[in-house]
Amino acid sequence: MEQNPFAQSSSQSVPPTHDKKKVYISILIIAILMFGIFYIVRQFGEQRNRRIKEDMIQRLGEQQDVSVSTKVEMINRINEGNSSLPTEQETVEARTTKEELIKRLK
C-alpha cells in the first residue's frame, strides 16, 4: 500500500501549546522593547530639532541687515515651534515697514 507523503499520520503529535505565563511574559518583553525603541527614536528627533533651532538662531544672529526687533520676533517664532524662518518676502516687507516708519518720524 502506498503512503501519501502529504497525509498526516495519526501518530504525529501536535506541538504542545505554550504555557500562558510564558506567552504573557513574551508579550510583556516585546512591549517593553517597542516602548524603548520608540523612546530612543523620539529622543533623537528632539535632539535633532534642538540642533536645528540653535543653528537657525545662530544664522539669524549673523545677519546684519535685519533689525533687532525683527530678530527677536523670528527667535520667538522659532522657539514657539513655528521653526520656519520668514521668507525673503516677509523680510523685505519688514525692512520697508521700518523704512516707512523712519521716514514718518523725520
Report if residue 28 sits inside a domain: yes
Report if residue 1 sits inside a domain: no
Amino acid 102: pLDDT? 73
Tens of pLDDT, residues 33-75: 999 999 999 999 889 888 888 888 787 777 777 777 777 777 7
Report if residue 11 sits inside a domain: no
Would you place residue 94 in the very low, low, confident or very high pLDDT band (cuts 50, 70, 90)?
low
Would you place residue 106 in the very low, low, confident or very high pLDDT band (cuts 50, 70, 90)?
low
Would you place residue 5 in the very low, low, confident or very high pLDDT band (cuts 50, 70, 90)?
low
Report if residue 4 sits inside a domain: no
Place of cell 522657539: 79
Instruction: Locate 36 and state its grid cell.
Output: 524603548
For the chain, the domain total comes to 1
Contact 74, 85 (CB under 8 A): yes
Which domain range does residue 34 map to? 20-105
Report if residue 14 sits inside a domain: no
Which residues are CB-neighbours of 53 under 8 A, at least 6 positions away?
Answer: 78, 79, 83
What does the angle CA 48 – CA 53 – CA 55 come to, to the nearest 5 degrees?
A: 95
Question: What is the chain's length?
Answer: 106
From CA 77, how far away is CA 58, in angstroms rounded?
14
Report if residue 24 sits inside a domain: yes
From CA 6, how far away is CA 14, in angstroms rounded?
16
Report if residue 80 sits inside a domain: yes
Report if residue 73 sits inside a domain: yes
